[in-house]
Chain A
């Protein structure tokens, strides 16, 4: 029996035609004299025959139609999000030196030097730490300042720098979690003329440990009223990541509800469905069911339907 041991695996490999000719020859020779291995081989053949009887899913174009349609929508959505101009792609591949890796250090050095040079020309005011720093209380006391036009954030030091106009140009630098900065950030979100500043503001808000109510209000206002869809998208994504707390829950549900019902951008309505799905709230659920039936965009309809079905299944499982 001991001499049969190496042949046990070979018998199965032979049944799947996976033995090389040499092994096949050895196995054949052994089997001529070994009744036990002959039985094993017969058993392997029978079991493989049994496994062959499992019906296979018949997948054809008709079966795949809904999956392909959904995938198409997803790809369009991904492409619209990653629509970087061709010149940026070229620059990226040049910097990553995909074709000439040995040039990478040179490219990095050139980029750093160029970056410092251009940076010092365009935003000289950020050369030092804080120039012309002012007392934030005095800024806030005087609301006649012009909108904030530059927001910069250093995640390592957790410091935010804002350029504020208050009779004269002032640069403010404070810790991101300070209430004063949160007040200025809500001003930036509501008043900054440049969408880029508003976008940056929403972006850095994700690093704030505890967002104050006025800042949350400003965020919701941005979701509802900002003319730039990018800002609205960032705002709703941030709202969807905020922890659910009893004092802000209704505010957030209402904001998401309005976004789902009124935002013209289907991607934002999609995010609203995601956000509402986080809440175990009957109104939110009926809203999602409604969106599954009536939203003008098919992908939003599908997503709402998917969420409704999933929550129904989960409820059933529980």
Chain B
């Protein structure tokens, strides 16, 4: 209910922690998934989750409700991820967290009955991760929001403060980069 969200925002702006938590619990699962897709590492995602919501809490007094609360939170989350990646150059894929990679691959395996297929899936996943990691932070943000979180490009433009044209351009460049990265795999997959 939008009214209820209004009330929760007003209460949170007066420092009511309970209202704030009620408010953010509506979005924090999606935000965590988004952060994870941006950084590919669950430990770092948890750290960024804390940073994001502490920022939201300290800045909520300045939130004027010109935009949707959800959009505003996502904007903070994306900016925090971009800054985090800037400050931690180790976020390149070549140092991608082995543990997480294995964990996801294990999950992929557990869903498969045939061992050969599971190995293929794990490899495919690893290639996709690598392709996504090769994107610049902004390209990655636009791609992840569009592809995995299914936001429309106009919403993403609003979220990131870019024009529609810029967002389209980021998405196109991201797809072209990944196309090159996944070419071999795509051909294998086809055959």
Contact = CB atoms under 8 A, between A and B. Distances in A.
B33 A13 contact: no
A72 B17 CA distance: 8
A56 B33 contact: yes
B93 interface: no
Interface stretch (B3-11, B66-74, B76-84, B121-129): B121-129
Interface in B1-50: 15, 17, 20-21, 25, 28-30, 32-33, 36-37, 42, 45-46, 49-50
A55 B57 contact: no
B178 A59 contact: no
Contacts of A12: 171-172, 175
A75 B28 contact: no
B32 A46 contact: no
B153 A18 contact: yes
B116 interface: no
A113 to B, nearest CB: 28
A47 interface: yes
Interface residues of B, number: 47
A75 B42 contact: no
A60 B124 contact: no
Contacts of B178: 47, 51
Given A16-B171, A50-B185, A56 B190 contact: no
Interface string B110-141: 00000000000100110011001000000000
B25 to A, nearest CB: 7
Given A50-B124, A51-B178, A71 B171 contact: no
Given A13-B172, A53-B125, A79-B15, A68 B182 contact: no
A59 B172 contact: no
A277 to B, nearest CB: 16
Contacts of A283: none
A55 B29 contact: no
Given A50-B186, A79-B15, A60 B175 contact: no
A314 B54 CA distance: 25
A139 interface: no
Contact of B186 (A47, A60, A79): A47
B189 to A, nearest CB: 6
A59 B186 contact: no
A51 B104 CA distance: 15
Given A67-B32, A74-B54, A78-B54, A47 B17 contact: no
A57 B144 CA distance: 13
A57 B32 contact: yes
Given A44-B175, A60-B29, A55 B53 contact: no
The A contact surface, by secondary structure, is helix
Interface string A36-78: 0000000110111011111111011101101110111011101
B107 interface: yes
Contacts of B86: none
Given A50-B182, A75-B20, A64 B171 contact: no
A220 to B, nearest CB: 31
A81 to B, nearest CB: 11
Contacts of B21: 68, 71-72, 75
A9 interface: yes
B122 to A, nearest CB: 10
Contacts of A52: 147
A56 B186 CA distance: 20
Interface string B159-191: 000000000110110010011001001100110
B58 A13 contact: no
A94 B50 CA distance: 32
B128 A18 contact: no
14 contacts: A13-B172, A47-B178, A50-B128, A52-B147, A56-B148, A59-B30, A59-B32, A67-B50, A71-B50, A72-B21, A75-B21, A75-B57, A78-B54, A82-B15
Given A50-B189, A51-B128, A59-B36, 13 more contacts: A13-B172, A44-B175, A50-B182, A51-B178, A53-B124, A53-B125, A55-B107, A57-B33, A59-B33, A60-B29, A67-B49, A74-B50, A79-B15
Interface of B: 15, 17, 20-21, 25, 28-30, 32-33, 36-37, 42, 45-46, 49-50, 53-54, 57-58, 104, 107-108, 121, 124-125, 128-129, 132, 146-148, 152-153, 168-169, 171-172, 175, 178-179, 182, 185-186, 189-190
Interface of A: 8-9, 12-13, 16, 18, 43-44, 46-48, 50-57, 59-61, 63-64, 66-68, 70-72, 74-76, 78-79, 82
**Across the A-B interface, the 8 shortest Cβ-Cβ residue pairs:** A59-B29, A54-B128, A57-B36, A9-B172, A59-B32, A59-B33, A75-B17, A12-B175
